[in-house]
Structure 1
Amino acid sequence: MTRSEDVRALLDEHGRTFAAEAGITLRDKPSPLFRLLVLSLLASTRISADIAVATSRELSRAGWRTPQRMLDTTWQQRVDALGRGGYRRYDESTATRLEGLCRRLLEEYHGDLRALRPGDDGDLTALREGVTGFTGIGPTGADIFCREVQAVWPQVAPFFDARSLAGAEASGLPTDPARLARLAPDGRVAELAAALTRVA
């Protein structure tokens, strides 16, 4: 198989982003970006990606798709929803962190993460600092956010974190982000990064 065929096979088998699995139709709008941030928070703890995705779906199903809607809930309602998603080990601390995340998002960014969108120079420093400024989201969570948001923020692309590059190496693909991105058909760089993360 050629490298292009290898990439297509990878995308066929593993090429769904966490956002897509969580039912988030990612767009450059406040609500889907907020839901991606929440998913990044959920995936930042020592818990499986499947549980983080299922819990993100549960929070959306409850109708908490904006920071204000999340703040309109009680701590116990958030704990219960996290539990329904399977997020039981960290449900109480995460219920508190979700409140803090929403308050900070409203107070500092007026509820709109597009304030963190990088300029055309592709410098991700401010974006990563902004995302990790939310309590509970560390470098891994920032990697997840950047990896997924590149689908709607071209300034972030091509973004492959250490884990996705490890997957590329294991798959015999280039580990240079620009070369790797050129192998992604139809600009599916975010899906390729997700697929390589699963391979790793």
Structure 2
Amino acid sequence: MTASGTLDALLERHGTTFAAEAGIRLRDTPQPLYQLLVLSHLLSARIRAQIAVGAARALFAHRLRTPRRMADASWQERVDALGDGGYRRYDERTATQLGDGALLLLDAYGGDLRRLREEADGKTDALRSGLRRFPGIGPAGADIFLREVQTVWPGIAPYLDAKALQGAERLGLPTTPERLVLLAEGRDPAVVAAALVRGALGKD
């Protein structure tokens, strides 16, 4: 199969962002951007992506969709919501981190991650550093957020991190962002990145 055919087959099977899978209607507005930050936090733990996505959906079903609601919820409410989503291995620590992160976002950026983007002047390295200020968001969490947010923050596209490029290598595809973008022929780079990550993680 050609590289183009391989990518087409991958996108047909896995062409959904993790945000969409978690029920986040991603837009460049405060609430969905915050929801993506929460999802990135959950996905960055050493736990199956399916469980992390389910936990995000459970948090949002418990109406913990904004930093104010997350901060105002009790620690036990956050633990219970994570438990409902099957996120039990790290639930207590994560519940604390989500509360602390929501307070940081409210205090530092008025609950609006677009202010972080403005502070970083759109520079990817500065954005990555800013994201890592949030409890529980390390290098992997920052990469996840930036991979997914490039749909609505096109100034950072194409953002294909080491995990996405690992998937490309595994599938015999080009391993530089520039060549992958050319191969993708105008497709949403966030969708391409998510598919490549699933290619890196999947057993098949």
- Which bracket does the TM-score occupy, shorter chain normalised? over 0.9
For these two proteins, the number of residue pairs brought into alignment is: 200
Give SS of 1:25's match.
Answer: coil
Answer whether contact 1:118 1:156 (CA < 8 A) is retained: no
**C-alpha distance after superposition, 1:40-84 (max 9, x if no partner):** 111121111111100000111111111001122111111100100
Equivalent position amino acid for 1:103 in 2: L
Query: Which runs of 5 or more structure 2 residues have no equivalent in the other structure?
Result: none
* Percent identity (aligned): 60
Equivalent position amino acid for 1:72 in 2: D
CA drift of 1:118 comes to 6.5
1:103 aligns with 2:103: yes
Answer whether contact 2:71 2:100 (CA < 8 A) is retained: no
**C-alpha distance after superposition, 1:118-141 (max 9, x if no partner):** 699863111101111111110000
1:119–1:12 Cα change, 3 Å: farther
Give SS of 2:87's match.
Answer: coil
CA drift of 1:112 comes to 0.3
Answer whether contact 1:19 1:36 (CA < 8 A) is retained: yes
Report the RMSD for the aligned CA atoms in angstroms: 1.7
Answer whether contact 1:167 1:196 (CA < 8 A) is retained: yes
Equivalent position amino acid for 1:83 in 2: G
**C-alpha distance after superposition, 1:75-121 (max 9, x if no partner):** 11111001000011111111110110000000001100011226998
Query: Which runs of 5 or more structure 1 residues have no equivalent in the other structure?
Result: none
Equivalent position amino acid for 1:169 in 2: E
- Structure 1 runs (4+) deviating above 4 angstroms are 118-122
Give SS of 1:45's match.
Answer: coil
Question: Which residue matches 2:142?
Answer: 142
Counterparts of 1:104-119 in structure 2, within 5 Å, are 104-117=104-117
- TM-score, normalisation: structure 2: 0.93
Counterparts of 1:11-26 in structure 2, within 5 Å, are 11-26=11-26
Q: Distance in 2 between matches of 1:50 and 1:120?
A: 31
Equivalent position amino acid for 2:31 in 1: S
Question: Which residue matches 2:125?
Answer: 125
1:118–1:110 Cα change, 3 Å: closer
Equivalent position amino acid for 2:42 in 1: L
Q: Distance in 2 between matches of 1:151 and 1:143?
A: 14
Q: Distance in 1 between matches of 2:178 and 2:120?
A: 16
